[in-house]
Amino acid sequence: MTTASTTAQPTSSAAPNGTRELAEFVVRTRFEDLSTDLVHHVRRSTIDCLGVALGAADHPSVQILLDTIDTLGGHPQATVWTTARRSSVAYAALVNGHLAHVLDYDDSYMPEVTILHGNAPVVPAALGVGEWLGVSGQAYVEAFALGFEVEARVALSAGRAHYGQGWHVTSTVGGLGAAAAAGKLLGLDEQQMTYALGIAGTQAGGLSEVLGSMSKGFHPGRAAMNGVLAALLAQRGFTSAEDILTGRRGFHYAFPSDRDIDAMVGELGRRWELRRAAFKAFACGIVVQPMIDAIIRLRDEHGVVAADVESIEARVNPTVLEPTGKTDPKTGLEGKFSVYHTAAVALIDGAAGPAQYTDERVLDSNVIDLRRRVRIVTDETLRKDEANVTLRLLDGRELTRYVPHGIGTAENPLTDEQLTRKFRSLVEPVMGPARADELLATLNRLEQLPAIGELTGLLARVSA
Amino acid sequence: MTTASTTAQPTSSAAPNGTRELAEFVVRTRFEDLSTDLVHHVRRSTIDCLGVALGAADHPSVQILLDTIDTLGGHPQATVWTTARRSSVAYAALVNGHLAHVLDYDDSYMPEVTILHGNAPVVPAALGVGEWLGVSGQAYVEAFALGFEVEARVALSAGRAHYGQGWHVTSTVGGLGAAAAAGKLLGLDEQQMTYALGIAGTQAGGLSEVLGSMSKGFHPGRAAMNGVLAALLAQRGFTSAEDILTGRRGFHYAFPSDRDIDAMVGELGRRWELRRAAFKAFACGIVVQPMIDAIIRLRDEHGVVAADVESIEARVNPTVLEPTGKTDPKTGLEGKFSVYHTAAVALIDGAAGPAQYTDERVLDSNVIDLRRRVRIVTDETLRKDEANVTLRLLDGRELTRYVPHGIGTAENPLTDEQLTRKFRSLVEPVMGPARADELLATLNRLEQLPAIGELTGLLARVSA
């Protein structure tokens, strides 16, 4: 069979170029275009991101990354958070992005079709490049808002098809957000921004197979570094695809994707996906948090202790078992991906913070005993932020609690006060209460800071 | 090649772990296990890779990469080829991998189901880490052979499904090869090697949408850097998936893949895919080279000049039009992805070297005039190394030439002498004839070098 071919489809055709639409949006939008509630949201995002990142200071994976970047070297351009180091904007982004995600306690953007933890790739890129360039708080807010918006819209567009196939969304789209944020601060023009997204997009990757290992936190670290590198290259004239996103062999065609292009480029500047980001109440995968909320309410409302419980049954959205189906976790990190461990510690401890995801807690015999009596029923009629939990007690009673929107979701967000409490609980053990106060005071006037260095200087470890 | 049927299995089951099989093979195999012809092949691979890399010294994209890595900084660990610089093993790998691919003149591994340019990710990783650690020529040969074998086997396993979907194979699998090579030199144990492949595999990416831009060369540069970083992290205890390749949400499940797992792990140490790698005779995509071969033969055998030609018709394998279908290239790089430009310059110049892929040559009016008279007929009955070209002359004659195996393919390889001539033609303009001689003499005793630094020292620019 032969086919004569006379035409190719070069990228210069008249088809809509989704990448250029995003690039144009990023280049033209200014701080003045952001409403007060968006600026407030950026402040909340930054507080949450820095809290969970600083709280991860002593995770063993962090020391390995530090040793590696020390081995490779780099100019001291940006603070490596929780250390006395400054490194290049690339490696600072790598470590800081990892710090911001490794506790699995960072923000969640969770429309029906996807899940993204958008802060970990973008805050490190924007803060690091901003620190290096000596920009103002307003410039940081602008860059973060735009970077987050780019990655969230690509995630939304890629949707269920993307999320369901083994791709870690935070990783695949994060580099695009980081490139947009870094590129905004570097003052890229529309063509350079298009190429920056191209260079970031062609580095996109990140397999869910690594969930439960140190490589999960590495994903947004790598994405942050990819984005910074992409913006630096594009600024200097490095070329890439004219349309990495909607081009024929681009992101939405090579990766599985719903290709909801309108979700990606519709209503730019009017619809802000950033408004839908929420902050976690518990230090584990977002999909199990409505269940935790229900278990803790039952425990607290009825004074239930583990010794009373015959079994725990939780009805949840089917996405819960995909990432968190580990029945027999061996490490703290694996525990975050075990809905069984999570249910057990939520009932025993009434909490699901970093202390519930240590190796010791995962191997505790009481926890193991209870987690064997956890039963998960998936129910497609439940949304991802819903859960229905029944405790069967040894005395024959059954206690049931339905949670329509788990705490820490967009419909039931942490208050500013709860967010501050979360920040303190994570930062004080690492930095001390005085530094935590100072950080919060600085963060609360984020958009008024003449120089973002006033904030980033406080992210260095006090004594180390 | 049998197609293994594989079922989705969680990594905790007793399913075969393809990643660990590869890791075990890499860890146990020694120089002594390599036959003489394989060592000869490694020498040829290294000569070809360094020739095309040094020949790319003055490509404008290279200066941009150099400026970027200078901006970021790093310890002087490995030579950045064609410069007076040493940089970290990570950034040296980035630039050297780009150098090795940007001319599209590097090696081709081309079984029926895929196409891989395997040197560009692996030679820079192995030479750079080898230089840093001060290893012997034998250790380099060992590391390169194993690194190439890993990436080639993953490419072969992923096969047509992978190649056809917008993924640039050299990029997606290259980091795995680079990690294996770097990890071998770093002395990783089996668990560390498994994690190194995990960290590299979860960084895999690279979209064909960027073909024709500077980002194509960036792909293997990035892959080389990814692999080096993965090996350094794994050496220090960073964890990853236990089975990044055949795990349920791993490489062969997230990416489109034929999942021919037997091709990936069968006959390890007995079947060497490295033997099937070939070296290009022309500086463009491998799939158009049989056509070039046929056109140059017709031109030389019949003394045809452009003014005699009414039209050129080439019957080729259908994969030709996918990467090289640009009808109206505007830059030298785009010209490499235009079978029309390539046919025209092959007839006019009797060549398809770097001089045929400059911006000037692509915009030449005679070339443009002739390329409009090129017709490509795709024919599924032709293999990728076959072509059948007919020239229709203005005097009414038709001249036809069938090429069963284009020069520079595994079945019709360049001789050692042709390879040496290619090396000189690329290296002498950059380094001068004396340095080219010295390099060839050193390369010809590659496996006898007490220290690989003897070779890498010669890759620095003589005066710059």
Tens digit of pLDDT for each residue in B379-436?
Answer: 999 999 999 999 999 999 999 999 999 999 999 999 999 999 999 999 999 999 999 9
Residue A400 Cα, gap to closest chain B Cα (Å): 32
The torsion defined by the Cα of A209, A214, A215 and A221, in degrees rounded to 10, comes to: 140
**B355 or A4, greater pLDDT:** B355
Task: Please list every residue in chain B whose beta carbon sits closer than 8 Å to the beta carbon of residue A238.
Answer: 61, 64-65, 68, 214-215, 218
Q: Among B439, B460, B453, which residue's Cα sits nearest to residue B136?
A: B453
Assess B165–A contact: CB distance below 8 Å, yes or no: yes
Q: Share the mean pLDDT of chain B.
A: 94
Task: Please list every residue in chain A whose beta carbon sits closer than 8 Å to the beta carbon of residue B377.
Answer: 2-5
What are the angstrom distances between the C-alpha of A373 and each of A296, A306, A333, A370, B457? 17, 11, 21, 5, 64
Residue B213 Cα, gap to closest chain A Cα (Å): 5
Which residue is closest to B243 within chain A, CA to CA? A209
Work out how many CB contacts closer than 8 A connect A with B. 223
Alpha carbon distance A298, A398 (integer Å): 11
Strands B387-393 and B309-316: antiparallel
Contact flag B61-A239 (C-beta cutoff 8 Å): yes
Contact flag A240-B206 (C-beta cutoff 8 Å): no
**B11 or B309, greater pLDDT:** B309
Contact flag B240-A5 (C-beta cutoff 8 Å): no
Average pLDDT for B17-22: 98
Write out pLDDT tens, residues B229-265: 999 999 999 999 999 999 999 999 999 999 999 999 9
Which of residues 427 through 456 in chain A touch B, CB cutoff 8 A?
none
Assess A202–B contact: CB distance below 8 Å, yes or no: yes
Is the reported ipTM for this assembly greater than 0.85? yes
Residue B299 Cα, gap to closest chain A Cα (Å): 24
Residue B223, token pair as written in the block: 């892959």
Which residue is listed with tokens 């390749």? Answer: B245
**B204 or B325, greater pLDDT:** B204
Write out pLDDT tens, residues B61-98: 999 999 999 999 999 999 999 999 999 999 999 999 99
Task: Please list every residue in chain A whose beta carbon sits closer than 8 Å to the beta carbon of residue B240.
Answer: 210, 213-215
Task: Please list every residue in chain A whose beta carbon sits closer than 8 Å to the beta carbon of residue B90.
Answer: 72
pLDDT at B26 over 60: yes
Alpha carbon distance A74, B227 (integer Å): 19
pLDDT in tens, chain A (464 residues): 344 443 334 444 457 899 999 999 999 999 999 999 999 999 999 999 999 999 999 999 999 999 999 999 999 999 999 999 999 999 999 999 999 999 999 999 999 899 999 999 999 999 999 999 999 999 999 999 999 999 999 999 999 999 878 899 999 999 999 999 999 999 999 999 999 999 999 999 999 999 989 999 999 999 999 999 999 999 999 999 999 999 999 999 999 999 999 999 999 999 999 999 999 999 988 889 999 999 999 999 999 999 999 999 999 999 888 878 889 999 998 999 899 999 999 999 999 998 999 999 999 999 999 999 999 999 999 999 999 999 999 999 999 999 999 999 999 999 999 999 999 999 999 999 999 999 999 999 999 999 999 999 999 986 54
Which residue is closest to A94 within chain B, CA to CA? B229
pLDDT at A463: 58
What are the angstrom distances between the C-alpha of A207 and each of A61, B198, B244, B322? 18, 9, 8, 27
SS (H, E, C) B178-220: HHHHHHHHCCCCHHHHHHHHHHHHCCCCCEHHHCCCCHHHHHH
Strands B309-316 and B374-379: parallel
Task: Please list every residue in chain A whose beta carbon sits closer than 8 Å to the beta carbon of residue B205.
Answer: 202-205
Give me the sheet containing A374-378, strands edge to edge: A374-378, A309-316, A387-393, A398-403
Residue B352 Cα, gap to closest chain A Cα (Å): 22
The Cβ of residue B70 has, within 10 Å, a number of other Cβ atoms equal to 15
pLDDT at A317: 93
pTM: 0.92
Assess A247–B contact: CB distance below 8 Å, yes or no: yes
The Cβ of residue A356 has, within 10 Å, a number of other Cβ atoms equal to 25
Assess B233–A contact: CB distance below 8 Å, yes or no: yes
SS (H, E, C) chain B: CCCCCCCCCCCCCCCCCHHHHHHHHHHHCCHHHCCHHHHHHHHHHHHHHHHHHHCCCCCHHHHHHHHHHHHHCCCCCEECCCCCCEECHHHHHHHHHHHCCCCCCCCEECCCCCCECCHHHHHHHHHHHHHHHCCCHHHHHHHHHHHHHHHHHHHHHHHHHHHCCCECHHHHHHHHHHHHHHHHHCCCCHHHHHHHHHHHHCCCCCEHHHCCCCHHHHHHHHHHHHHHHHHHHHHCCCCCCCCCCCCCCCHHHHCCCCCCHHHHHCCCCCCCHHHHEECCCCCCCHHHHHHHHHHHHHHHHHCCCHHHEEEEEEEECHHHHHHHECCCCCCHHHHHCEHHHHHHHHHHHCCCCHHHHCHHHHHCHHHHHHHCCEEEEEECCCCCCCEEEEEEECCCCEEEEEECCCCCECCECCCHHHHHHHHHHHHHHHHCHHHHHHHHHHHCCHHHCCCCHHHHHHHCCCCC
Contact flag B215-A241 (C-beta cutoff 8 Å): yes
Contact flag A207-B88 (C-beta cutoff 8 Å): no
Residue A166 Cα, gap to closest chain B Cα (Å): 5
Helix axes B215-235, A190-201, angle to 10 degrees: 50
φ/ψ bin of A206: left (φ > 0), alpha (ψ from -120 to 50), beta (otherwise): left
Alpha carbon distance A248, A242 (integer Å): 11
Question: Dihedrals φ, ψ of B55, to 5°?
Answer: -65, -15
Write out pLDDT tens, residues A80-93: 999 999 999 999 99
Helix axes A137-163, A18-28, angle to 10 degrees: 160
CB-CB: which of A8, A201, A211 is closest to B325? A8
Residue B267 Cα, gap to closest chain A Cα (Å): 26
Residue B397 Cα, gap to closest chain A Cα (Å): 22
pLDDT at B8 over 60: no
Contact flag A2-B321 (C-beta cutoff 8 Å): no
Contact flag A207-B201 (C-beta cutoff 8 Å): yes
Query: Across the strands, what pairs with A4?
Result: B377
CB-CB: which of B198, B229, B232 is closest to A210? B198
Q: In which band, very low, low, confident or very high, does the pLDDT at B14 lie, cut at 50, 70 and 90? A: low
Residue B353 Cα, gap to closest chain A Cα (Å): 22
Q: Among B148, B206, B147, which residue's Cα sits nearest to residue B172?
A: B206
Contact flag A254-B208 (C-beta cutoff 8 Å): yes
Q: Which H or E element spans position A292?
A: helix A289-302
